[in-house]
């Protein structure tokens, strides 16, 4: 990854991986990330999705060019059990197809146009080459960006897709992106489903997990909830517009990472950084990069 990442990379001590110190006994203990002021992750939300069609290789490439530290991949599963990069359970919003992903084979989904919708919706950012972009599989994303990239993967609607977690781990293992000696950390897995995360934790306790949350009103979190999240995850992600500084500080007091989503305006980015978040998701990773640069230069 880029030199900036060396400044913000979670050290091997984050969860004990990479140092060889995790054993089967320790793995059962609550994970305990060590945090420093420099661990600010710039997560390219669905790639640089403010500029290019989300969850396409083009969007992911742009996210990397704009110094995103992680490629965020939302997963859905096809009728024939393949994991694809797509946010919705349905094809309608981001392709010219219609209906549920799970009712189509990968071959059928590969025939769809996953780019033209963006040109129609965002004419200011439209480009001819976006028309006809294809839906990538998780394997294609990993093959394209390789083991030097970092992946922030979400199990979407896992209750709809039995076996999603096993399939995901199988792919990560095949491409050698898991294991106690992996750098901390090539892969973060996130989900709104505690059941999905706990299943992954049981299958491979060495993979760092992030519990996603959604708040309809002002966010509040209890000590009991934080204690529970710590038993299987190293951090939390939530909609940024419902949290305040007290919320951020409470999460940090429990030594958990906090990565709010989806933060697109520089003013909000600055505010969250002042509150003490350890990273954030943005459709415009170049904007966050500029904010981090300006912040570093004022200290």
Active-site residue flag, 299: no
- pLDDT 10s digits, 252-263: 999 999 999 999
pLDDT at 4: 35
Average pLDDT score over residue span 117-145: 98
User: Is the pLDDT reported for residue 117 higher than 70?
Assistant: yes
User: Is the pLDDT reported for residue 130 higher than 80?
Assistant: yes
pLDDT at 84: 98
State how far the Cα of 227 lies from the Cα of 165, in Å rounded to an integer.
24
User: Which candidate in 55, 87, 201, 259 is catalytic?
Assistant: 87
Active-site residue flag, 45: yes
State how far the Cα of 21 lies from the Cα of 3, in Å rounded to an integer.
26
Whole-model pTM: value is 0.87
pLDDT at 156: 97
- pLDDT 10s digits, 276-294: 999 999 999 999 999 999 9
- Give the DSSP H or E segment for 55: none
Q: Where are the domains of the chain?
A: 3-88+138-297
Q: The domain 3-88+138-297 belongs to what CATH superfamily?
A: Phosphatidylinositol (PI) phosphodiesterase (3.20.20.190)
Give residues with Cβ within 8 angstroms of 261, minimum separation 6: 45, 237, 238, 239, 240, 280, 281
User: Which candidate in 45, 55, 201, 259 is catalytic?
Assistant: 45
């Amino acid at each position: 990854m880029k030199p900036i990442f060396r400044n913000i990379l979670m050290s091997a001590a984050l969860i004990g991986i990479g140092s060889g110190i995790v054993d089967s006994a320790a793995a059962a203990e609550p994970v305990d990330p060590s945090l420093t002021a420099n661990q600010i992750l710039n997560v390219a939300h669905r790639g640089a999705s403010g500029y290019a069609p989300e969850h396409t290789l083009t969007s992911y490439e742009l996210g990397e060019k704009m110094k995103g530290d992680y490629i965020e991949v939302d997963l859905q599963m096809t009728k024939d059990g393949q994991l694809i990069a797509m946010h919705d359970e349905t094809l309608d919003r981001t392709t010219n197809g219609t209906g549920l992903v799970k009712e189509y084979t990968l071959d059928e989904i590969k025939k769809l146009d996953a780019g033209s919708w963006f040109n129609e919706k965002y004419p200011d950012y439209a480009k001819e080459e976006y028309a006809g972009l294809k839906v990538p599989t998780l394997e294609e994303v990993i093959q394209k960006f390789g083991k030097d990239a970092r992946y922030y993967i979400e199990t979407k609607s896992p209750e709809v897709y039995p076996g999603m977690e096993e399939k995901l781990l199988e792919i990560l293992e095949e491409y050698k992106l898991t294991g106690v000696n992996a750098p901390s950390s090539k892969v973060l897995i996130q989900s709104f489903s505690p059941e999905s995360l706990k299943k992954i934790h049981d299958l491979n306790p060495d993979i760092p997990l992030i519990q996603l949350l959604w708040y309809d009103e002002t966010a509040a979190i209890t000590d009991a909830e934080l204690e529970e999240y710590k038993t299987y995850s190293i951090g939390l992600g939530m909609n940024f517009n419902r949290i305040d500084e007290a919320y951020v500080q409470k999460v940090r007091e429990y030594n958990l990472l906090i990565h709010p989503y989806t933060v697109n305006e520089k003013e909000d980015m600055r505010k969250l950084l002042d509150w003490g978040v350890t990273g954030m998701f943005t459709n415009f990773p170049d904007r966050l990069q500029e904010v981090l640069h300006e912040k570093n230069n004022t200290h």
